Amino acid sequence: MEPARKTEQTPWEPRIVAFLCRWCSYAGADLAGVSRLSYPPTTRVILVPCSSRVNPYHILKALMEGADGVLVSGCHPGDCHYLTGNLLARRRFILLKRLLAYMGVEAARVKFSWISASEGEAFAGLIREITEEVRAVGPFQGFLRETGEDVYDR
Amino acid sequence: MTGSAALAETLRKVFKDEKLDGLIGYAAGTTPLRPRPAVFTAPGDFDAAVFDGFCVQNLATYLRRHPDRRMGILVKGCDRRAVTVLIQERQVAREDLFLIGVPCPGMLNRARLLTEFPGLETGGVAEEGDTLTVAAADGPVSLARADYLLPACRACRHRVPTDVDLMLDAPPFAAPEADTSLGELTGGIDGMERRERAALFAEELSRCILCYACRNVCPFCYCETCFTDTLQPAWMTPAPEPNDIFFYHFNRMMHMSGRCVACGSCAWACPEQIPLHLLFGKITADVAELFAFEAGLDETTPQPMSHFSEDDPDEHIG
Ligand code: SF4
Ligand code: SF4
């Protein structure tokens, strides 16, 4: 993905990469589409078999390759197609989110949620919300780029 | 106890009596204040054996290199816990091992001693009770051992190994136990402004040369192919930049969650003296807080990242 910050002609819009579980949130996004709900078009959806398929590598790499924010969304607890994938992911994600914040990454950049196949409205709303939160913190400049003087070298 | 004849004798006797194929311990190293891990395989080898306040490196790392052998291993509290984790992960079998426990006196900060007293040689630090006598350039200096402990050791609450086959006498030197905790060591950073935290890690990790010493020394970094080494997908770029350094450390810590025994070996091994205890301390303190789990205390409690509870915290789901 071409980093958004490199196209200087058009104003910056937050780019969100959304990892969506095929059994719920992906269908929720589909429902938002067929219901003709509007949400920011700068979202890139990546289909995954389960929220627990999403590895910390994927989240970090998305940010490194030009995303400004990442969403991972799966089935509500109890609804997982594989019974417990989302519960395993929940454990992993809380550590991930805390470590990211600890190392100085804005909390708004990575978000987790549960969205079912029937929640098209919730999906569109969530994407709008994330986009605004990411807009507030600005384009992602890369990890370990903020020095004491707040100088970015790219 | 440093290089004492008594230690050599004890280990030699165990080696013979238990008909061990090898015994993993420490021997005097070639660089000052850095004993090296050694695999003793013949009775004559044991004269080189040492144990002092610089035997930081976790010896459990070497167990997997000697499969199908009956191995003896010298264990401090953290080495013993690492053995437990390796048993849980089916990397070694308890019945193949003969564990020789040593009550840990708390390990010393070599880098700090060498900075404050340049030119120290091996044997330049005499340990007695709770004091250190350092052979400084202009005469001996006395220091409190407690002031020179490594951060991980200051926070350690499990110095005495449990369930060993033979327990050695406590060495005649030790510092008082735990004056801090991993939560406390990392809590200060949690309390900072986000920008300050970002700048702190940008600064510290800017020295990382990605030599992977911290990975190689860790008892739990035993994957045959590390994510840093795969080419398809190539997670790390060939000419590493700050993103890659972050990617490496962040993901290594994710892999350590629920497994790290906070032995401090990674921080000790780092040639750039990056304060890695701030990273493994954070993940370990979080696992303790969120899942009430400390790695390596017993073999039967399942590791936290391999299961879940319906009542797990969900403050992060929005
Ligand atoms: S991550 Fe560091 S402190 Fe933790 S077990 Fe590995 S070497 Fe020891
Ligand atoms: S040992 Fe230090 S320099 Fe080497 S990879 Fe680890 S943190 Fe980086």
Please choose, from the candidates B297, B222, B232, B288, the residue with its C-alpha nearest in 3D space to the C-alpha of residue B252.
B222
Q: Measured between alpha carbons, how far apart are the two ends of chain A, in Å? A: 17
* pLDDT band with cut points at 50, 70 and 90 for residue A154: very low
Whether residue A129 is contained in a domain is answered as yes
Query: What is the domain-level CATH number for residue A87?
Result: 3.40.50
Contact B158, B84 (CB under 8 A): no
User: DSSP of B214-279, one letter per residue?
Assistant: HHHH-TT---SS-TTT-STT--S-SS--HHHHHHHHHHHHHHHTTT-----HHHHH-TT---THHH
Domain that holds residue A72: 13-137
pLDDT attached to residue B239: 86
Ligand 2 near B212 CB (within 6 A):
yes
How distant is the Cα of B194 from the closest Cα of chain A, in angstroms? 5
Ligand 1 near B288 CB (within 6 A):
no
Task: Considering every ligand atom shown, identify the ligand nearest to the alpha carbon of residue B156 and give its number.
Answer: 1
> Cα-atom radius of gyration of chain B, to the nearest Å?
20
Residue of B nearest to A102 (CA): B190
Q: How many helices (H) and strands (E) does chain A have?
A: 4, 4
User: What phi and psi, each to the nearest 5 degrees, are found at residue A17?
Assistant: -100, 125
Ligand 2 near B218 CB (within 6 A):
no
Residue reference for tokens 């054996």: B49
Ligand 2 near B24 CB (within 6 A):
no
Number of Cβ within a 10 Å radius of residue A10: 7
Q: What is the mean pLDDT of residues A16-45?
A: 96
* pLDDT band with cut points at 50, 70 and 90 for residue A8: low
User: Closest to A56 (Cβ–Cβ): which among B200, B206, B250?
Assistant: B250
Helices A56-64 & A85-102, crossing angle to 10 degrees?
A: 50
Number of Cβ within a 10 Å radius of residue B253: 23
Q: How far apart are CA A37 and CA B188, in angstroms?
A: 45
Q: What's this model's pTM, rounded to 2 decimal places? A: 0.94
pLDDT attached to residue B284: 98
Please choose, from the candidates B90, B136, B91, B130, the residue with its C-alpha nearest in 3D space to the C-alpha of residue B116.
B136
Looking from the CA of B68 toward its CB, the CA atoms found within 13 Å total 0
Nearest CA to ligand 1 atom 7: B218
Inter-chain CB proximity A84 and B201 less than 8 Å: no
pLDDT attached to residue B314: 85
Whether residue A142 is contained in a domain is answered as no
Measured between beta carbons, the chain B residues lying within 8 angstroms of A144 are 198, 201-202, 205-206, 242-243, 245-246
3 state DSSP class of B129: strand
* Per-domain boundaries in chain B: 5-306
Using the mean position of ligand 1's atoms as its centre, give its distance from the Cα of residue B86 in Å: 13
Distance set, CA B127 to CA B31, B132, B155, B233 (Å): 18, 5, 21, 50
Q: How many helices (H) and strands (E) does chain B have?
A: 10, 8
Using the mean position of ligand 2's atoms as its centre, give its distance from the Cα of residue B113 in Å: 20
Distance set, CA A83 to CA A95, B64, B240 (Å): 22, 35, 40
Q: Which of B221, B248, B270, B278 maximizes ligand 2 atoms within 8 Å of its Cβ, making it the mutation to test the pocket?
A: B270
Beta bridge partners of A56: none
Task: Considering every ligand atom shown, identify the ligand nearest to the alpha carbon of residue B220 and give its number.
Answer: 1
Residues in chain B predicted with pLDDT less than 50, given as ranges, are 1
- Whether residue A1 has pLDDT greater than 90: no
Task: Considering every ligand atom shown, identify the ligand nearest to the alpha carbon of residue B211 and give its number.
Answer: 2
Q: Is-cis flag, bond preceding B233, omega within 30?
A: yes
How distant is the Cα of B270 from the closest Cα of chain A, in angstroms? 19
What domain count does chain A have?
A: 1
Burial category of B234 from C-beta neighbours within 10 Å (exposed 0-12, middle 13-18, buried 19 and up): exposed
Measured between beta carbons, the chain A residues lying within 8 angstroms of B206 are 144
3 state DSSP class of B110: helix
Burial category of B161 from C-beta neighbours within 10 Å (exposed 0-12, middle 13-18, buried 19 and up): buried
How distant is the Cα of A146 from the closest Cα of chain B, in angstroms? 5
Ligand 2 near B209 CB (within 6 A):
yes
pLDDT of B257-285, one tens digit each?
Answer: 999 999 999 999 999 999 999 999 999 99
Whether residue A8 is contained in a domain is answered as no
